[in-house]
Structure 1
Amino acid sequence: MFIGWLLVVGLLLGGVNFLAQGKTILIKKATIVPVVGPKIVGGDLLIEKGQIVKLGRNLKAPEGAIIIEAEGDYVYPGLISSFTAIGVTGYPGAGNDLNEVGISTPQMDPYEAINPEDDCIAVTRLGGITTVLTISGTQNIICGQAVVLNLYGDFPCEMLVKRRAAMIFNIGAKQQNRYPSTIPGVMAFLRDKFEKVKLYQARKKETSKSSGKVKARTSKSSRQVSSTGPGFDRGFSLNLEYEALIPVLEGQIPALFIANDEVTLRNSLRLIKEYHLKGIIYSRKGVRKFLPHLAQEKIPLIWAGTMTIPDRWQAYDYNYRMAAEIARQGILFAFEQAGWGPGSRNVRNLPVPAAMSVAHGLAEEEALRAMTIYPAKILGIDDKLGSLEPGKKANVVIWTGSPIQLTSRVKTLIIKGEIVPLESVQTRLRDRYEKIVRQRLKAKKK
């Protein structure tokens, strides 16, 4: 019995996916919007084993397939939200694993804290969002890693799309009454940290030439390591903080900078250039003057400022028009609803800034891409998600209309080929009190 439990735990930790993905689903006679190609009016979409197999018209249903008649409805890829705290913090009382204590915590991996029972997951799905980037926090200078998740599964391994999808930095996270308490101090802190990582990496390469059993010394941010064969020289201390930053400096993991004003934007771009980082900018304001630079350097932008109140000297629609300007500059960008932390329950409103931007000059096709294929490209998952193409994972949403039309609603939600129930804590509360109201009205009439 004990061995059996050990096997189960081992499978879970190893990332085995227990979701059944053998169902065959055929969506018929819908308007299919692949996002990367032309619409197919009256089209069919075939899903097998969790993947999109074929798009077209008059497709033949395989034996045993689930048929979804969708005439008059619209089929889109699942929306992607690229800056959230879904799974690590949610409704009050659900727990909070954001923002580890310290100013530099790059070794923090939010995947280890994911709660598949987070109420915000089901709430977010009802907005047509099937995939999110979950971050480690926003309050540290080096906040930690980020993970891409599908919003369906009983275990984190069933939800996982990509671990270590980005490293989060916040130059504006100055400390009170201790170093670094100024922007120059933060910049000096980061440069010092990066140079130490380079020295650590150089020493690691030198010491790895020798072989033999080694016990690494333990320091405040280190752990004991024992290895045999080719490895490290005696006395080498494995530092988890530095280990987490090595792939960032090597350009293997994107450096995602939170930059919500001109000073933090300028310095984020400076560090990206100095250290040849694979940079991404997340911003709610102050980006306009930097758009030409972002376009020239091909730095993606997660734009979360559409619904932000403009400054006093700016026009009322200044931020509403920003996405159209970003698109005109040719910048790869994604919409965001500023849904991290306590705002995780509002991630479902992702189509709102897209709709407002369309009303102020952005092409509807660009708005849809900025919630699907563009964030997929930014997060490095466009080979799996972000559009309706054969071979991609079947994250598919059937809507009554375009997601840009805020009166549209989700009729059917499919994640990795599984039809997901359209139920959440909000729908349960609605149904509960609607029933009570109807009963009281009926009793009153009598």
Structure 2
Amino acid sequence: MSTTVFTHAHVVPVDGDPFDGTVLVTDGTITELGPNVQAPADADVVDATGKWILPGFVDAHVHLGTHEEAEGWAGDDTNEMTDPVAAQVRAIDAINPADLGFGDALAGGVTTVNVNPGSGNPIGGLAVAIHTAGHTVDAMVLKSPSGLKSALGENPKRVWGEQKKMPSTRLGVAAVIRQAFVDAANYRSTRDAAGEAFAGRDLKLEALTMVLDREIPWRQHCHRADDIATAVRIADEFGYRLVIDHGTEAHLVADLLAERGIPVLIGPLMTSRSKVELRNRSLRNPGLLAAAGVEISIITDHPVVPINFLVHQASLAVKEGLDPATALRAITLHPARVLGVDDRLGSLAPGKDADLVLWSGDPLDLYSRAEQVYIGGERVYRYATPTS
């Protein structure tokens, strides 16, 4: 049995009040934490005097490992844009753990990410939740699949409109999505009626059936308020679990989202207004959503915003009105809940994985840095002062 004790730290559990004290880890799991924890005599001691300990950050929308940095076209496997409905493709099959972004993630205190396919198709494929350290993606997986990616708005309209193919309009994109769900529902009925005699597997329709059965959420890329309303409308028709990705104008329909309990993964926040959909991008929007009762997570869409800037987006949102405690939850517990791994990650509590980060100070302070990062109780990163 391996036991590590982190002593004399300022501990921020996220789901609970901060305290000065100790975190005890046994075999990769948090077993005890508090101001008066007694460490076993044989424990490995990490003196965290003057440090802040928080759970590892979670970015629930990235293209880490599939859109590799500094690799050009050879490392871009984000979109399979040969069919508007590509529900059967899986992000896990394109992730390169050697992507430079994984090192940046650890340096930014990010221990968990959700890797999505891109937004060129109305239906883009299956996402996967992984840790940010490991030699093979299979060893890094937390949940696969963790959702099915879909896109409304400018991107699929542009991609397929330029090819003079359907869908070339917003109404066409919505129609493609509806038809795919009708096909999946018919497939499910035929499969269930046939039972063991069924012999017509279809990976595309199987993926869509997982959404209809509410096994995984529908991850809906949309920016404009009208597209968000369309996302809710289609979700109501087919009864699946909806998550809004990006949500640039979600604050304009916050009452609708709050009433239905639909979470918003908002971001990236540190970008130019490079297209019409981003006209109302603002660092004030996370605070507006949270104030309206919408559960928010903050995302980078890496490499659109470098993943190590996740915490800086949260800090800037605080500057523009977001409550600091909510900001921390938006990069820890809330995205862990969206991914369905909040029983393991997103806060510090007995029984949860020891995915934790030692910070030099308050992580929302620009001058603080992640000094040590642990995943499952194993140290995977340590800041080294540059020598030249």
Same fold (TM over 0.5): yes
1:27 and 2:6 correspond: yes
Q: Is the 8 A contact 1:152 1:158 kept in 2?
A: no
Matches of 1:35 and 1:105 in 2, distance apart?
A: 37
Alignment of 1:14-163 (within 5 A): 23-41=2-20, 43-93=21-71, 95-100=75-80, 101-163=82-144
Matches of 1:263 and 1:322 in 2, distance apart?
A: 17
Matches of 1:61 and 1:419 in 2, distance apart?
A: 19
Say if 1:109 and 1:289 are closer, same or farther in 2 by CA, change over 3 A.
same
Say if 1:121 and 1:267 are closer, same or farther in 2 by CA, change over 3 A.
same
Matched letter for residue 5 of structure 2: L
Matches of 1:118 and 1:318 in 2, distance apart?
A: 29
1:343 and 2:304 correspond: yes
Say if 1:180 and 1:50 are closer, same or farther in 2 by CA, change over 3 A.
same
Matches of 1:289 and 1:411 in 2, distance apart?
A: 39
Aligned to 1:53, what secondary structure does the other structure show? strand
2:283 is aligned to: 320
Matches of 2:149 and 2:268 in 1, distance apart?
A: 18
1:365-407 Cα shifts (integer Å, max 9, x gaps) = 1111111111111111110000000000000001011111111
1:166 is aligned to: 147
Matches of 1:96 and 1:419 in 2, distance apart?
A: 30
Q: Is the 8 A contact 1:306 1:323 kept in 2?
A: no
1:402 and 2:382 correspond: no
Which of the numbers 166, 178, 187 marks the counterpart of 1:191? Answer: 178
Which of the numbers 178, 194, 201 marks the counterpart of 2:188? Answer: 201
Matches of 1:310 and 1:356 in 2, distance apart?
A: 17
Matched letter for residue 343 of structure 1: V
Matches of 2:101 and 2:15 in 1, distance apart?
A: 29
1:259 and 2:222 correspond: yes
1:235-278 Cα shifts (integer Å, max 9, x gaps) = x4211110111010121110010001133222111111111110
Q: CA deviation at 1:317?
A: 10
Matches of 1:365 and 1:376 in 2, distance apart?
A: 16
Matched letter for residue 372 of structure 2: T
Matches of 2:365 and 2:372 in 1, distance apart?
A: 17
Q: CA deviation at 1:138?
A: 1.8
Which of the numbers 175, 178, 203 marks the counterpart of 1:240? Answer: 203
Matched letter for residue 144 of structure 1: G
Alignment of 1:293-442 (within 5 A): 293-309=256-272, 319-339=282-302, 342-343=303-304, 346-422=306-382, 431=387, 434=388
Matches of 2:50 and 2:11 in 1, distance apart?
A: 11
Q: Is the 8 A contact 2:254 2:289 kept in 1?
A: yes
Gaps of 5+ in 2: none
Matches of 2:3 and 2:66 in 1, distance apart?
A: 33
Q: Is the 8 A contact 1:284 1:305 kept in 2?
A: no
Matched letter for residue 92 of structure 2: Y
Q: Is the 8 A contact 1:305 1:319 kept in 2?
A: no
Matches of 2:99 and 2:2 in 1, distance apart?
A: 26
Q: CA deviation at 1:64?
A: 3.8
Aligned to 2:4, what secondary structure does the other structure show? strand
Aligned to 2:227, what secondary structure does the other structure show? helix
Task: Give aligned pairs, total.
Answer: 377
Matched letter for residue 76 of structure 2: N
1:42-99 Cα shifts (integer Å, max 9, x gaps) = x000111111110023433334422111111111010000100112222222723211
Q: CA deviation at 1:155?
A: 2.0
Q: Is the 8 A contact 1:23 1:417 kept in 2?
A: no
In angstroms, what is the RMSD of aligned CA positions? 2.2
- Deviation larger for 389-398 or 195-204: 195-204
Matched letter for residue 28 of structure 2: G
1:198-243 Cα shifts (integer Å, max 9, x gaps) = 11111111222xxxxxxxxxxxxxxxxxxxxxx125xx42111101
Matches of 1:77 and 1:281 in 2, distance apart?
A: 24
Gaps of 5+ in 1: 1-21, 209-230, 435-446
Matched letter for residue 81 of structure 1: D
Q: Is the 8 A contact 2:10 2:52 kept in 1?
A: yes
Asked which structure has the greater CA Rg, the reply is: 1
Say if 1:322 and 1:121 are closer, same or farther in 2 by CA, change over 3 A.
same
- Deviation larger for 278-287 or 369-378: 278-287
Q: Is the 8 A contact 1:79 1:372 kept in 2?
A: yes
Say if 1:310 and 1:239 are closer, same or farther in 2 by CA, change over 3 A.
closer
